Structure 1
Amino acid sequence: MTLQLDAVDRKLLRALQQDSRKSVQQLGDIAGLSASACHRRLKALEEHGIVAGYQAVLNASALGLSMQFFIEVGLTSQSEAVLEAFEAAVLDIPEVLECHLMAGQSDYILRVICRDHEDFERLHRRLSARLPGVARVHSNMSIRTVKARSGLPL
């Protein structure tokens, strides 16, 4: 069963994406709801999977993770077994922040983060030598993030 979003839900979701630390009362004030009505709507949004979770946004540079790469991976085969083995292995690599199955030249694109060149070299070797089914790895280093958005347009 799909939840139909109205203007109030969208206003609530926008406020939540901007700052999920706001209290239910503060979110309700923004959305024009009482605290109890806001709580009910938030609960419904969570139960329908629209709000998938809450998290803190960390500053990678402040944590010494200053190098970001986008890595295109080509596999030896498109068989279900090869895809599943690759995906299972990628889940165990903490430096891989995102992994996308692609349609196009590459089978996957990974977004990875590293401390320095040596850290990236170690990760690159791990990706190309130890991940199952890897035929080709092509890396692109991000020089600067121009736009990063974790929220969705509502």
Structure 2
Amino acid sequence: MPDVALDAIDRRILAEVQREGRISNQDLSERVGLSPSPCLRRLRLLEERGVISGYVALVDPERVGMAVTAFVRVRLDQQADRQLATFEAAVAGFPEVMECYIMTGDADYQLRVVVPSLSAFEDFLRGKLTRIEGVSQVTTSLALRPIVYKTALPVGMVSP
């Protein structure tokens, strides 16, 4: 169950700002079928409630020299709270780690790591990741190329 009740207009607003974060309020209001003032009020309310947590520019990794994406599964030797907190604090400070999830199954964590080269990835593994206290196993899969990459949540799929 969602934290915030959203109606169809809220969902249209979310879909549009996810598609084009720099859209003007005038264009947004036209696309969602509201006049500008109520549209802006709804947008601000979505921001205040934390439904919209921020705005970003999406950067093409290849064009800025970050050609290697690796998915790394990590097992710890223990799942004690202290060890989990130590691991999580360490990876949160690594700029190469784009995402980190605590997992069920055969790995404790899954990371998405982006680096410029395989040698940079080796440096990351040997110099950072495997040096974290409690890391007992690391398994890596290298991405050859993205097939589907989305940043917009399918907010229209959730029924009001």
Please state which band the TM-score falls in when normalised by the shorter chain. Answer: over 0.9
Aligned to 1:38: 39
Inter-CA distance 134–41: structure 2 relative to 1 (3 Å threshold) = same
Superposed CA offset, 1:21-77 (max 9, x none): 101111111111111111100111011111011000001000000010000000010
Structure 2: gaps (5+ residues): 156-160
Partner residue in 1 for 2:62: 61
Q: TM-score if structure 2 supplies the norm length?
A: 0.92
Q: Which of structures 1 and 2 has the larger relative contact order (alpha carbons within 8 angstroms, sep 6+)?
A: 2
User: Partner of 1:4 in structure 2?
Assistant: 5
Given that 1:89 and 1:132 are in contact with CA atoms closer than 8 Å, whether structure 2 keeps it comes out as: no
Residue identity matched to 2:4: L
Which residue of structure 2 lines up, in the alignment, with residue 150 of structure 1? 151
1:128 deviation in Å? 4.2
Matching of residues 101-120 of structure 1 within 5 Å: 101-120=102-121
| 1:99-139: CA deviation from partner (whole Å, max 9, x where unpaired) | 00001100000000011111011011134432121000111
Residue identity opposite 2:125 in structure 1 = H
Q: CA deviation at 1:78?
A: 0.4
Name the aligned partner's letter for residue 117 of structure 2. Answer: D
Counterparts of 1:21-36 in structure 2 under 5 Å? 21-36=22-37
Match of 2:141 in 1: 140
Tell me, in whole angstroms, the C-alpha distance in 2 between the residues paired with 1:78 and 1:97: 23
SS at match of 2:30: helix
The residue that corresponds to 1:95 in the other structure is 96
Equivalent position of 1:86 in the other structure? 87
- Aligned-partner SS, 1:152: coil
Structure 1 unaligned residues grouped into runs of 5+: none
Report how far residue 5 of structure 1 moved: 0.9
Contact 1:128 1:136 in 2 (8 A): no
What is the number of equivalent residue pairs in this alignment?
A: 153
Aligned AA (1:146) = I
- The residue that corresponds to 2:158 in the other structure is none
- How many Å separate the matches in 1 of 2:153 and 2:66? 25
Tell me which amino acid in the other structure corresponds to 1:12: I
Q: TM-score, normalised by structure 1?
A: 0.96
